Amino acid sequence: MPATPKPQPVNKLAGTLRHRLLLAIESFKVLDKVMLGKALTLAEETHAKQTRRPTKENPTQAAPYIVHPMRVALIITEELELKEPIAIAAALLHDTVEASNGKVTIAYIEEHFGRPIAMMVSILTKPTFKETATKEEKQQKLRIYHERISQASVETKLVKLADRLDNVRDAAELLDKGFQLRYLEQTRAFYLPIADVSDSYLFDELSLACERLEHELKYG
């Protein structure tokens, strides 16, 4: 497992991750590199003005949101050593539809990146809720979302588990205890069982991340 990088100023972190990602795909075929470059550009444009949640280390200067999809892609390429362009593209694009206010659609992704990537992003895109939605309606949508993931292809599950792993690792540094607790409970109830039958590395890492998050909730 790669050594955990030392914290960096948020204005440098995105650039460092981008450099690592470009190095990770350097040996890919030219057309795959071009496609992944387009996916990275779309993700950067979509998330340009968005930030992550404030952390203990940076309570007033949140990290740019783009660090998350890049870290998910790096979990795929560096930690899982999966050199699959479709999975890497889906990792980069997995939040673009819900974060774009309708500017990026599944149809747009299919047109520019192909049906396999669009299908993965469609499954990975979280449901939206109307302001008037009841708790039961939200729970029903989430159940359908979780069922789609549990029935998805192995690669789609790996991207979702990498997404969850990065978020749980990040959650240990957050200030919002209520969010941390909900995230921990949801991860253990739904994502750990999927990881257990999908990939031993992701199961182990997700378990460790949950233990760290639980420790932070108790003693942080």
User: Tell me, what's the pLDDT at 9?
Assistant: 54
CA–CA distance, 95 with 68 (Å, rounded to integer): 9
- Rounded CA-CA distance 187/69 in Å is 18
Residues 85/89/94/96 CA torsion (nearest 10 deg) = -170
Please identify every stretch of the chain with a pLDDT value under 50, giving residue numbers as ranges.
Answer: 1-8
* Model pLDDT, residue 219: 85
Cα dihedral sign for 31, 34, 38, 43?
A: positive
pLDDT (0 to 100) of residue 23: 97
Which pLDDT value is given to residue 4? 44
Mean residue pLDDT of the chain comes to: 92
The 10s digit of each residue's pLDDT in 25-63 is 999 999 999 999 999 999 999 999 899 988 887 777 789
Q: Six-digit token pair at 97?
A: 């539809």
Helices 106-113 and 85-93 cross at an angle (nearest 10°) of: 150
What structural domains and CATH numbers belong to the chain? 10-219 (1.10.3210.10)
66: tokens are: 């783009």
| Global confidence as pTM | 0.92
Question: Containing H/E element for 201?
Answer: helix 200-219
Q: Of 172, 45, 23, 34, nearest to 100 (Cα)?
A: 45
